[in-house]
């Protein structure tokens, strides 16, 4: 690190010897705010949610103070969701700051195709389409569970795997978590994400019917308050995969890396409208 800092400062000294006069302001690219739309729909949904913001043109000259200040949720949009011959309008919920509709009023079905249309004053209308993965995610196979001494505490870990469905074009995401209650006098529970070795975001391109293996990082038994943990294995559509992959590659302003455009399937806007289908597996923990 020392070498890098030193090298960068050396280049800096070389390049900017007479500097201030050699730095000039130039005309930035013209950019107007765009609608930013996020929604992931699933047959398991009880509530369909759409988050809507507007982008913040970098060179607009409008000052901002914080992340929330820069990206306040947009409350005056019109959100239409359609599919299977039905169309509904989602309404803004101030508590969750999302546009919602009860999933019982608009069924999301595996293999269903859906279209989202969003309009807002002074912003260009955007549309997006997605298809919910038609298949049921494969079952997760637990291959091993055990405890291990981890920094003088009893820690629990497990190994599991799943086999990719037949045929290419499947995308998956894997998550693990458990509930923790740090105050036995109340019912307050926290869902804690658990880390693991293994790919979290998967494409089966050139890897059809491969078996994907996972091993959780040891977690202190004290943290598993209710003696079970959850594994979610989701079949996701290509939109979800590409968005997540581009966000994972995003390097911010690292000058030594390639710029990372963020994937979007929102026509004339930014964000993601994706369909997923999740299988939830509950694993009992034996102490």
Restricting to residues 124-143, which ones interact with another protein according to CB under 8 A? none
With beta carbons less than 8 A apart as the criterion, state whether 253 and 259 touch.
no
Applying CB under 8 A, among 94, 95, 259, 286 the residue interacting with another protein is 259
Applying CB under 8 A, among 2, 94, 144, 149 the residue interacting with another protein is 2
Pick between residue 36 and residue 165 the one whose CB is nearest to another protein: 36
Q: Is 70 in the site for another protein (CB under 8 A)?
A: yes
Site residues for another protein, 30-69, by CB under 8 A, read 31, 33-34, 36, 38, 40, 42, 44-46, 51, 53, 55-59, 61-65, 67, 69
Site residues for another protein, 163-202, by CB under 8 A, read 173, 175-177, 179, 187-193
Residue the block writes with tokens 């509904």: 88
Residue the block writes with tokens 């693990």: 176
Applying CB under 8 A, among 3, 104, 121, 149 the residue interacting with another protein is 3
Q: Is 230 in the site for another protein (CB under 8 A)?
A: yes
Q: Is 105 in the site for another protein (CB under 8 A)?
A: no
User: Could you tell me which of 156, 77, 161, 87 has the C-alpha nearest to residue 119?
Assistant: 77
Applying CB under 8 A, among 104, 253, 286, 287 the residue interacting with another protein is 253
Cα–Cα distance measured from residue 276 to residue 201, given in angstroms and rounded to the nearest whole number: 13
Applying CB under 8 A, among 150, 161, 225, 260 the residue interacting with another protein is 260
Pick between residue 25 and residue 149 the one whose CB is nearest to another protein: 25
Q: Is 95 in the site for another protein (CB under 8 A)?
A: no
196-231 burial, b at 16+ Cβ within 10 Å, e below that, comes to beeeeebbbeeeeeeebebebebbebebbbeeebeb
Q: How far is the CB of 118 from another protein (least distance, A)?
A: 14
Pick between residue 22 and residue 85 the one whose CB is nearest to another protein: 22
Q: Is 1 in the site for another protein (CB under 8 A)?
A: yes
**Residue 119 Ramachandran class (φ > 0 left, ψ -120 to 50 alpha, else beta):** beta
First to last CA, the chain: 44
CA dist 113 to 34, 90, 109, 130, 139, Å?
A: 25, 18, 9, 6, 25
């Amino acid at each position: 690190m020392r070498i890098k800092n030193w090298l960068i400062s050396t280049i800096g000294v070389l390049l900017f010897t007479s500097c201030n006069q050699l730095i000039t302001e130039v005309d930035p690219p013209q950019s107007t705010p765009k609608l930013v739309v996020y929604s992931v729909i699933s047959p398991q949904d009880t509530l369909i949610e759409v988050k809507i913001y507007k982008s913040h043109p970098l060179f607009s000259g409008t000052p901002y103070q914080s992340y929330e200040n820069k990206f306040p949720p947009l409350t005056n949009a019109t959100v239409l969701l359609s599919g299977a011959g039905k169309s509904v309008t989602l309404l803004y919920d101030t508590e969750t700051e999302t546009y919602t509709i009860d999933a019982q009023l608009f069924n999301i079905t595996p293999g269903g195709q859906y279209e989202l249309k969003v309009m807002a004053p002074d912003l260009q209308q955007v549309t997006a389409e997605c298809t919910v993965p038609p298949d049921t995610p494969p079952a997760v196979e637990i291959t091993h569970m055990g405890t291990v001494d981890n920094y003088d505490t009893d820690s629990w870990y497990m190994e599991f795997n799943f086999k990719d469905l037949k045929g290419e074009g499947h995308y998956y995401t894997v998550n693990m978590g458990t509930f923790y209650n740090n105050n036995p006098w109340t019912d307050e529970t926290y869902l804690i994400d658990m880390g693991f070795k293994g790919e979290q975001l998967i494409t089966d391109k050139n890897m059809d019917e491969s078996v994907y293996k996972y091993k959780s990082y040891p977690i202190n038994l004290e943290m598993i308050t209710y003696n079970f943990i959850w594994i979610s294995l989701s079949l996701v559509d290509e939109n979800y995969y590409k968005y997540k992959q581009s966000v994972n590659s995003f390097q911010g302003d690292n000058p030594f890396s390639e710029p990372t455009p963020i994937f979007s399937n929102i026509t004339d806007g930014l964000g993601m409208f994706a369909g997923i289908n999740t299988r939830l597996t509950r694993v009992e923990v034996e102490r």
